[in-house]
Structure 1
């Protein structure tokens, strides 16, 4: 299965030398023996199955698979910290146990956050320590120095993920559990104070990441940059999760929505940079995060006048175009994304119209959204000079805002306004909506936007869509013991 995952990554990089299906069939052949009993090896194999399912539109329920992994961890007791080991072999085995547990733990926090579902179990139910960098005396004397250095670098990178996952758990527990009669699980009495506390923890975590040089001989500069970008995306995603509407704060203030807007824009910029570095492989989590970032931009823009007033048409159009372009590329591997990407383009058009006609106008007229083919998305998306950047708190760095211009793929629109008391407003929207379904004088939202926002709210403060739809194909889509129908992954349970 490890070779299958590596071959999938190669194919996403346009290297077709190794057919992933061949390795997948070999893994299927040994699956019965592998999963016949609960062991550390079976947990590791289950993790590879989860990673495979994240990369391909397999009809597998990731949420269920991850919970099976958590159950196996508890069954083996690797969620508890054992007595200190002194023998080198025991130390290595202890390290493997810790890595296995926290890998499953990290997957659980990621999948449950994307789908808006409960955590597998809370942090007070385990006490195993995070894996630590081993001292040279514990390393194999016959091992390759470069390989050992790379393993240490991977562990450092993984620890940053695990540390932020602990903060994600805090966000879920404080803001995303349903109210109940038990006093033990009451929502925080002062959620804003908790929000500030967690924000400060996220900022401190990011400061540690920013100071980490990843100065290991086994890494090149490109790998270092990609790791920082991936950690930065996770930082911005956690900030959005903290400040978006939640069970504890259902109607966040404009400042919170501005933070969501800024961090969502940064997510798209960072994914675009990863794409340009050929470090984006469009797995399930990536596609979900890209779409969620675009949806958050639009949601914040349409529901908050302060965000609209601060928005720049050039920067917003650049971010939305990056979102649609990345989704177009992802649609090559996830066919069910194509339908969402086409619908997203119509929402982009209306958003740019609204921004243009509410006063934040550049020197050029706005241009309509033009969907990109997967090839165009792969080859034609370039990082713009002077793109917006944000600091660790999600605040905009105005020194990098371009002074004029828009993206090159927005054809001209006729001059008119949206929601402004000018005589030609009704004429413009009558042409667009001749059936009279939209009255600009009585409602800020056109029907498409209203439906979009309603769908966003129905998803209970998390954005998701079934990336393994009916049209998606996957050869050998089931493992005999774990496979379940993936159609339920778009449904939402309580947090």
Structure 2
């Protein structure tokens, strides 16, 4: 870091190398420029010197190792751009259609130049097969972000929206099935990407990203709720497996994922059409939330906002435990926030199987929610959402989860979690991830 400024003023490739190191460092430490700023600078430099374009005659005249080095620099930046931009809900620094440069070679320079016969002598995957496979995942993630989380597909009908989800899910399945095998072995460091649990974790993480409430599908059928419930549970299992292997990375990107999964578990638990108490006793949802609480406690040693997340999860677990032990008989209340009303009834007047409902004042949204609430057993039918206005997702409640006087309501938790997942963090350009999460938990919601 002491030589960072000097490196930036040096040769462009040297500057990019320094930026990549600084970005990697910023994932784990909050000292120096934040990751969003650094990745943006790196992308601008890479585009400025044409690393994203097809190689010119001057580049082709370079030694093979230097050509490969340029490709690796660019695709490292590409993967970091996708990872950070998606986590923060921000536009990409470069679009896939603007990239012409080929991927780097799946071998070191000497082996690649020796020809195919030399490569076939190896009975294990090249270490470079791993980052190549990760590039493929980042491309799929980019398509999910573009097609599911932008407003460009709001005009589609329910069948067309499901086709998008199914196509992207098929790509994820193919990615998981085609992972490098056997994985490289590292005796010096416990590399996360050299464990099958890392690939399982990323598969389930992207399934969650695909099916949770989003601008494409703001209202979920019960089938989709079941998908994200199972995926969230499997995600927690893979985090535990990586922890046991000492391969789990406690960086802020993974903290964001764990926090989002906790919201998904809360939402998918509350959104079940059957009696909540029976669901809690028949699944490991509570155990998963307890596991997440322990993971967040570890994060809290480095990221203070993780402790607020942990307090939220612990509070929810405590109240869900009471719900499970009481057989589902609780009294809930009505809360009014920013002109929006969360409509709930006393549990003695409304059956435990009632689907959560949120009255927003948006007629199309409220009518759709009412259909779901009145027909909890008919969620297999696709619901048309063309009439839902563009501003629908901005009408949700503003809740302070950590207020000591917060009167627990299943509807509150389900709808608030859905709003967070649908809108994303949407951090401003001047705010880093830790500050954004702290504001979110303090009840300050992004527009």
Question: Cα–Cα, structure 1 residues 191 and 290, in superposed 2: closer, same or farther, change >3 Å?
Answer: same
Structure-to-structure mapping, 1:279-294, within 5 angstroms: 279-294=247-262
Q: In the aligned structure 2, how far is the partner of 1:440 from the partner of 1:123?
A: 51
- From 100, 109, 118, the equivalent of 1:127 is 100
1:440 equivalent in structure 2 = 347
The Cα shift of 1:224 comes to: 7.9
Q: In the aligned structure 1, how far is the partner of 2:70 from the partner of 2:162?
A: 37
Q: In the aligned structure 2, how far is the partner of 1:339 from the partner of 1:117?
A: 24
Q: In the aligned structure 1, how far is the partner of 2:125 from the partner of 2:23?
A: 24
2:304 equivalent in structure 1 = 335
Q: In the aligned structure 1, how far is the partner of 2:300 from the partner of 2:182?
A: 35
Moved more, 162-171 or 115-124: 115-124
Q: In the aligned structure 2, how far is the partner of 1:465 from the partner of 1:175?
A: 15
1:115 equivalent in structure 2 = 88
1:199 equivalent in structure 2 = 169
Question: Cα–Cα, structure 1 residues 37 and 450, in superposed 2: closer, same or farther, change >3 Å?
Answer: farther
Question: Cα–Cα, structure 1 residues 339 and 213, in superposed 2: closer, same or farther, change >3 Å?
Answer: same
2:245 equivalent in structure 1 = 277
Aligned Cα RMSD in Å? 3.7
1:318 equivalent in structure 2 = 287
Q: In the aligned structure 2, how far is the partner of 1:64 from the partner of 1:224?
A: 26
Structure-to-structure mapping, 1:42-441, within 5 angstroms: 42-58=15-31, 60-82=33-55, 90-134=63-107, 137-138=110-111, 153-179=126-152, 188=156, 190-209=160-179, 212-214=181-183, 216=184, 226-305=194-273, 313=282, 315-354=284-323, 356=324, 415-419=325-329, 439-441=346-348
The Cα shift of 1:53 comes to: 1.1
- List per-residue Cα deviations over 1:99-140 (Å, max 9, x = no partner): 111111111211222222222232111122222223674579
Contact 2:43 2:77 in 1 (8 A): yes
Contact 2:125 2:181 in 1 (8 A): no
Q: State the secondary structure of the residue aligned to 1:333.
A: coil
- List per-residue Cα deviations over 1:19-63 (Å, max 9, x = no partner): xxxxxxxx32x1221112561121121111111111013364322
Q: In the aligned structure 1, how far is the partner of 2:10 from the partner of 2:416?
A: 43
Q: In the aligned structure 2, how far is the partner of 1:113 from the partner of 1:225?
A: 20
Matched pairs, number = 364
Q: In the aligned structure 2, how far is the partner of 1:438 from the partner of 1:246?
A: 27
Q: In the aligned structure 2, how far is the partner of 1:455 from the partner of 1:198?
A: 26
Normalised TM-score (structure 2): 0.71
Question: Cα–Cα, structure 1 residues 306 and 228, in superposed 2: closer, same or farther, change >3 Å?
Answer: farther
- List per-residue Cα deviations over 1:339-394 (Å, max 9, x = no partner): 2211210112223444x3xxxxxxxxxxxxxxxxxxxxxxxxxxxxxxxxxxxxxx
Question: Cα–Cα, structure 1 residues 153 and 463, in superposed 2: closer, same or farther, change >3 Å?
Answer: farther
Q: State the secondary structure of the residue aligned to 1:57.
A: coil
Q: State the secondary structure of the residue aligned to 1:154.
A: coil
Q: In the aligned structure 2, how far is the partner of 1:321 from the partner of 1:459?
A: 21
Question: Cα–Cα, structure 1 residues 449 and 128, in superposed 2: closer, same or farther, change >3 Å?
Answer: farther
Question: Cα–Cα, structure 1 residues 304 and 282, in superposed 2: closer, same or farther, change >3 Å?
Answer: same
Normalised TM-score (structure 1): 0.64
Question: Cα–Cα, structure 1 residues 186 and 293, in superposed 2: closer, same or farther, change >3 Å?
Answer: closer
Please list every run of 5 or more consecutive structure 2 residues that lacks an aligned counterpart in the other structure: 115-121, 334-343, 357-406
Please list every run of 5 or more consecutive structure 1 residues that lacks an aligned counterpart in the other structure: 1-26, 142-148, 180-184, 357-414, 420-424, 431-436, 467-482
Question: Cα–Cα, structure 1 residues 221 and 63, in superposed 2: closer, same or farther, change >3 Å?
Answer: closer
The Cα shift of 1:325 comes to: 0.7
Q: State the secondary structure of the residue aligned to 2:223.
A: helix
